[in-house]
Amino acid sequence: MSVDVPRMEELLGPVPVAGYGDGCGGGRGGARHLSGVLPALSAAIGHPVPTEVHRDPKAVQRALGLPDARSAVVVLVDGLGFWNLAMRLGHAPYLRSLMNEPANLRPISTCTPSTTVAAMSTFGTGTCPGLTCMTGYTQRNPRTGGLAQLIQFRDSIAPRDLQRQPTVFERLTAQGVRVTSSGLPKFAASPLTEAALRGGDYIGNVAPAERVRVAAAAAAEPGLTYLYIRDADKVGHTYGWDSEKWIGTFERIDAQLALLHRSVPRGTLIVISADHGMIAADPALRVDIAEHEALRRGVALVGGEARAPMLYVEDGVDAREVAERWRSFLGGHALVMTREEACSQGVFGPLDPRAGSMIGDVLVYALGAATIVDSRTQSDAATRLPSVHGSRTMLEMDIPCLIDLT
């Protein structure tokens, strides 16, 4: 069955806010959201874990179409958006076979911003950035007033202090359910793992095939197994998601997933998802805040990232005036809103009372192939990445939820 891929103009255009919670109706998000994947899987293996966002895991399981199974493996492929996948299916025989199933032809939504730190905590807790307080790649640390970077938690509040929502892995382990994570050794005790994916047993291996074999072996016992594959995102940032190197990486990822399919015991449920998609940046549409007084004026800190800057205004400055000035300057190249507008629209989902001091006063979401960078604080290479993510376009927000019952 073929996938009808929209025109690139549509893929790079804005999509409505994805709602959080099981009762969001027929719009984007709701049960069909990255936040629903682990609650649904907990129900599928017979140990439902409700969360602050998903109160009825069985309903989420039905909405995602997951069958019951004694053992499940969930694979998160960093950076492999639904439409990135669909446009390169000719290079992926195993994934192409899954896309022959009608249930796998519909994407689900990731969180806003569509970036790893926000998405991993959304995935791991089954909640949303507003509750995890992980609202951007970089965000203000209210205790210091400076910027914190949340991949390594540099200059940040400690992981467990910042992100206080229990993870689904923790909740399952507390029920006596086996939870196994298979990934790179360096991620076993990383701050991001501690914040977003703590709980269960972590087994590290350097070789990709060994990580797959560990996951398959763990699946012989009832419970949940998590396998993380990062290469699509890493190669996309370095060479571009549409490059020959990315295609070669995609082919190897498909081979790893096919090996997993062949290696797990019969009756194992495999679910393959991602944290976000990627867009190819256009260097001609790169906007450097450092070069434009109209963008610098009144802004004390610039957080977020190139597709989703968060602006923290100077004391006494009206965020609405800054937002209007940025709208006028960027025109159709971005959506611009104040924090109050974003929160009232549910962009971050329900809010922990602490989250407001971390979210920017003004939020900017790049459209098309534009990027918005700041050479005053970012390296030249970081401002010129060939592929990026973080915004609210279809290409970045739509992710797969592929189901394979072996």
Provide the pLDDT for residue 251. Answer: 98
Tokens describing residue 229? 């594959």
C-alpha separations of 396 from 7, 27, 377, 389 in Å: 14, 17, 25, 6
Those residues with Cβ within 8 angstroms of residue 328's Cβ, 6 or more apart along the chain or in another chain: none
Q: Residue 144's pLDDT is what? A: 97
Residue 291 vs residues 294, 295, 365: alpha-carbon distances, Å: 9, 8, 19
Is residue 141 predicted with pLDDT exceeding 80? Answer: yes
Task: State how far the Cα of 185 lies from the Cα of 397, in Å rounded to an integer.
Answer: 29
In order of 2, 158, 272, 366, the CA distances from 96 in angstroms are: 9, 41, 13, 31
pLDDT, position 17: 93
Put simply, whether the predicted model's pTM sits higher than 0.95 gets the answer: yes
pLDDT 10s digits, 44-97: 999 999 999 999 999 999 999 999 999 999 999 999 999 999 999 999 999 999
Query: Strands 108-109 and 147-149: what pairing?
Result: unpaired
Look at residue 23 in the predicted model and tell me its pLDDT. Answer: 72
C-alpha 348, offset from chain centre: 13
Contact 158, 195 (CB under 8 A): no
Buried b (16+ CB within 10 A) or exposed e, 316-351: ebebeebbebbbeebeebbbbbbbeebbeebbbbeb
Q: Token pair of 18, please?
A: 């994805």
Confidence of residue 26 (pLDDT cuts 50, 70, 90): low
pLDDT in tens, 273-304: 999 999 999 999 999 999 999 999 999 999 99
Beta bridge partners of 387: 280
Length of the chain: 406
Query: What six digits make up the tokens of 279?
Result: 């867009």
Q: Is the pLDDT of residue 1 over 90?
A: no
- The answer for residues whose C-beta is within 8 angstroms of residue 379's C-beta and 6 or more apart is none
How far apart are alpha carbons 353 and 133 in whole angstroms? 9
Q: Domains plus CATH for the chain? A: 8-279+393-405 (3.40.720.10), 283-388 (3.30.1360.180)
Least confident span in 24-28, 258-262, 383-387: 24-28
Structure confidence at residue 263 (pLDDT): 98
Q: Round to whole Å and give the CA distance between 278 and 388.
A: 6
**H or E element at residue 44:** helix 37-44
Q: What is the mean pLDDT of residues 95-111?
A: 95
Q: Could you read off the pLDDT of 238-260 as tens digits, one per residue? A: 999 999 999 999 999 999 999 99
155-183, pLDDT tens digit by residue? 999 999 999 999 999 999 999 999 999 99
Please write the tens of the pLDDT for every residue from 229-238: 999 999 999 9
Site of tokens 């990822």: 253
Question: Mean pLDDT over all residues of the chain?
Answer: 97
Is the pLDDT reported for residue 406 higher than 60?
A: yes
Q: Per-residue confidence at 22, pLDDT binned at 50, 70, 90?
A: confident
* Mean pLDDT calculated for residue range 340-360: 97
Nearest-5° Cα angle at 100, 99 to 105:
45
CA dihedral of 292, 294, 300, 306, whole degrees rounded to 10: -60
**Mean pLDDT across 314-328:** 98
